[in-house]
């Protein structure tokens, strides 16, 4: 093609699902089994009536509906509903006019935020600014860094601490160039929740080096312990950081309310960042439809459906985790809807391929969710299982995985694994 395009597009990595498609190409899965997909983390419980009904009603309302251009900042009613939710959930008081901004889910906001924060000309020496992210991680962080003209830096994680990021291992010269840090708590893929002392360390680093922290919290409402996951706003408030300096939190209805198709979330935190983000989004054109805003406000105000949703996940994880623990290195995560399981033999790619071929179950090789650093890929040897389908289907999948591992002849390594980094 001769059209001159943004060369940074060439630096984007194939998305994990593209790599999975390439891995499975040419395989005809065993026709004795119906397909079960644990590869994609798309919520599949039904969207609750409280949200669906509000959306129907909103479309009919003359002041809502589809006949008006929405404002980038959203309606006061939605921002207030979001702030009330933060108050109930985290005990943190926000000013809905300056510290809250609706977004179209968290993915686009994670990406767009880098456009606001990163100045690609930041360093006269020609050094690129750095965006630090966990490893393994949600791939949007990397794409956001690359397209903003920054260099992603993959922070080492510690398998012995359930892949918690070891921030101490990030060198001072990296922090000195860091402009943005993505944290993910509860984490995808590990489900690990960051404790208060980890937040304290990160805030201290942000104070010293001046970088922005973007805290991705879209799994916060699906948890398996008695105490709900700590949020970054809550951690900041507990540490006396009441203006949330350089902190922005991203959350979403996709998982909390089983509404990935609604495209609704919000960001909250530092008023200066929110103001700049609102300006950026005015030009980007990412305002939320008023009808979607009205449905979203109804969803944020209701906790009954969230409790019911959590109960479904708890039941599922209680049943499935011990079954899989018979054959895989797996345990109940703190939160989220993934199991992050070590596979026998340690070859996640070969495991996923053979499981698909023999039992028609799709799982995601862990190395597709991480990057090689120093010749080591922290996702290697693990697979991510998204327990998003109904219980029966997940039970069937678990049963097949147990049979697969027990029956396993040594798993053959495919002759060439496409798209290995
Ligand atoms: C860690 C993480 N962040 C953000 C998202 C984006 O979700 P949404 O845009 O639906 O809010 C996902 C989706 O799977 C995710 O896993």
- Report how far residue 234's alpha carbon sits from residue 90's, in angstroms, rounded to the nearest whole number: 6
Percentage of the chain lying above the pLDDT 70 cut: 96
368 C-alpha to center of ligand 1: Å?
16
pLDDT of residue 363: 98
| pLDDT tens-digit readout, 208-257 | 999 999 999 999 999 999 999 999 999 999 999 999 999 999 999 999 99
C-alpha closest to that of 248 among 273, 281, 265, 217? 273
Distance from Cα 15 to the centre of ligand 1, integer Å: 14
Residues with CB under 6 A from ligand 1: 41, 105-107, 138, 184, 188, 216, 218, 252, 254, 260, 265
Question: Ligand 1 centroid vs 106 CA: distance in angstroms?
Answer: 6
Cα angle 377, 380, 382; round to 5: 145
Cα-to-centroid distance, 402 and ligand 1 (Å):
29
Alpha helix ranges (H) inside 241-347? 253-256, 271-284, 290-301, 304-325
What does the pLDDT profile of the chain (421 residues) look like in tens digits? 689 999 999 999 999 999 999 999 999 999 999 999 999 989 999 999 999 999 999 998 877 678 889 999 999 999 999 999 999 999 999 999 999 999 999 999 999 999 999 998 877 787 899 999 999 999 999 999 999 999 999 998 888 888 889 898 999 999 999 999 999 999 999 999 999 999 999 999 999 999 999 999 999 999 999 999 999 999 999 999 999 999 999 999 999 999 999 999 999 999 999 999 999 999 999 999 999 999 999 999 999 999 999 999 999 999 999 999 999 999 999 999 999 999 999 999 999 999 999 999 999 999 999 999 989 999 999 999 999 999 999 999 999 999 999 998 555 555 444 433 3
3-state secondary structure of 183: strand
Structure tokens at 76: 């006061």
Sequence-distant (6+) residues with CB within 8 A of 21 are none
Which residues, including other chains, have CB under 8 Å from residue 142's CB and lie 6 or more apart? 13, 133, 152, 371
Crossing angle for the helix pair 49-60 and 290-301, to the nearest 10 degrees? 150
Residues 236 and 64: beta-carbon distance below 8 Å = no
217 C-alpha to center of ligand 1: Å? 9
CA distance 216 to 213: 10
What would the two tokens of residue 307 be? 């409790």
CA of 133 to the centre of ligand 1 (A): 15
Structure tokens at 82: 């979001």
Mutate to test the pocket of ligand 1, among 16, 106, 136 (most ligand atoms within 8 A of CB): 106
Q: What is the pLDDT of residue 248?
A: 98
pLDDT at residue 419 in the model: 38
- State pLDDT tens for residues 401-414: 999 999 985 555 55
What's residue 418's pLDDT? 41
Atom 14 of ligand 1, residue of closest alpha carbon: 41
- What number does the ligand 1 atom closest to the CA of 187 have? 1
Task: Report the residue among 187, 218, 267, 300 best suited for mutation to probe ligand 1: largest number of ligand atoms under 8 A from its CB.
Answer: 218
pLDDT of residue 420: 35
Element (H, E) at 251: strand 247-252
CA–CA distances in Å: residue 273 to residues 75, 123, 189, 230, 340: 19, 21, 28, 22, 34
Residues contacting 379, CB < 8 A, separation 6+: 136, 189, 348, 365, 366, 367, 368, 369, 370
Other beta carbons within 10 Å of 149: 16
Instruction: Return the half-sphere exposure (C-beta side, CA atoms, 13 A cut-off) of residue 34.
Output: 4
> At 3, which helix (H) or strand (E)?
none
Q: What is the pLDDT of residue 175?
A: 97
Pick from 134, 188, 250 the residue to mutate for probing ligand 1's pocket: most ligand atoms within 8 Å of its CB: 188
Which pair of structure tokens corresponds to residue 360? 């028609």
* CA gyration radius, the chain: 22
What are phi and psi for residue 161, nearest 5 degrees?
Answer: -115, 45
Nearest ligand 1 atom to the CA of 254 is 10
Q: Which of 109, 137, 214, 252 to mutate to test the pocket of ligand 1 (most atoms within 8 A of CB)?
A: 252
Task: Determine phi and psi for 262, rounding to 5 degrees.
Answer: -75, -30
pLDDT of residue 47: 96
Please tell me what DSSP assigns to residue 167.
G
Q: Whose alpha carbon is nearest atom 12 of ligand 1?
A: 107
């Amino acid at each position: 093609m001769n059209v001159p395009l943004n060369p940074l597009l060439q630096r984007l990595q194939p998305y994990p699902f593209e790599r999975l498609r390439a891995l499975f190409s040419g395989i005809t899965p065993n026709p004795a089994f119906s397909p079960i997909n644990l590869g994609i983390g798309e919520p599949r419980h039904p969207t609750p009536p409280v949200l669906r009904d509000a959306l129907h009603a909103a479309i009919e309302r003359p002041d809502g509906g589809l006949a008006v251009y929405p404002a980038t900042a959203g309606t006061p009613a939605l921002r207030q509903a979001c702030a009330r939710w933060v108050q109930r959930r985290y005990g943190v008081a926000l000013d809905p006019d300056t510290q809250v901004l609706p977004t179209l889910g968290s993915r686009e906001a994670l990406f767009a935020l880098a456009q606001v924060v990163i100045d690609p000309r930041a360093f006269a020496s020609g050094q690129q600014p750095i965006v630090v992210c966990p490893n393994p991680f949600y791939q949007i962080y990397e794409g956001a860094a690359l397209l903003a003209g920054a260099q992603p830096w993959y922070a080492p994680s510690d398998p012995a601490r359930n892949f918690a990021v070891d921030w101490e291992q990030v060198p001072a010269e990296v922090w000195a160039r860091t402009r943005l840090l993505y944290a993910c708590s509860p984490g995808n893929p590990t489900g690990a929740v960051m404790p208060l002392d980890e937040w304290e360390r990160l805030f201290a680093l942000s104070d010293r080096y001046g970088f922005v922290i973007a805290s991705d919290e879209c799994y916060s409402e699906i948890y398996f312990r008695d105490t709900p996951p700590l949020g970054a706003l809550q951690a900041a408030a507990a540490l006396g950081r009441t203006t949330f300096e350089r902190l922005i939190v991203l959350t979403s209805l996709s998982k909390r309310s089983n509404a990935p198709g609604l495209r609704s979330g919000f960001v909250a935190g530092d008023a200066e960042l929110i103001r700049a983000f609102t300006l950026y989004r005015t030009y980007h054109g990412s305002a939320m439809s008023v009808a979607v805003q009205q449905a979203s406000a109804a969803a944020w105000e209701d906790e009954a459906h969230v409790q019911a949703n959590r109960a479904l996940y708890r039941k599922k994880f209680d049943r499935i985790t011990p079954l899989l623990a018979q054959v895989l290195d797996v345990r109940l995560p703190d939160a989220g809807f993934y199991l992050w399981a070590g596979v026998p033999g340690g070859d996640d790619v070969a495991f996923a391929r053979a499981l698909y071929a023999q039992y028609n179950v799709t799982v995601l090789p862990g190395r597709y969710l991480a990057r090689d650093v120093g010749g080591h890929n922290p996702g290697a040897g693990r697979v991510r299982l998204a327990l998003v389908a109904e219980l029966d289907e997940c039970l069937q999948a678990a049963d097949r995985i147990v049979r697969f591992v027990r029956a396993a002849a040594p798993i053959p390594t495919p002759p060439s694994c496409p798209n290995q980094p």
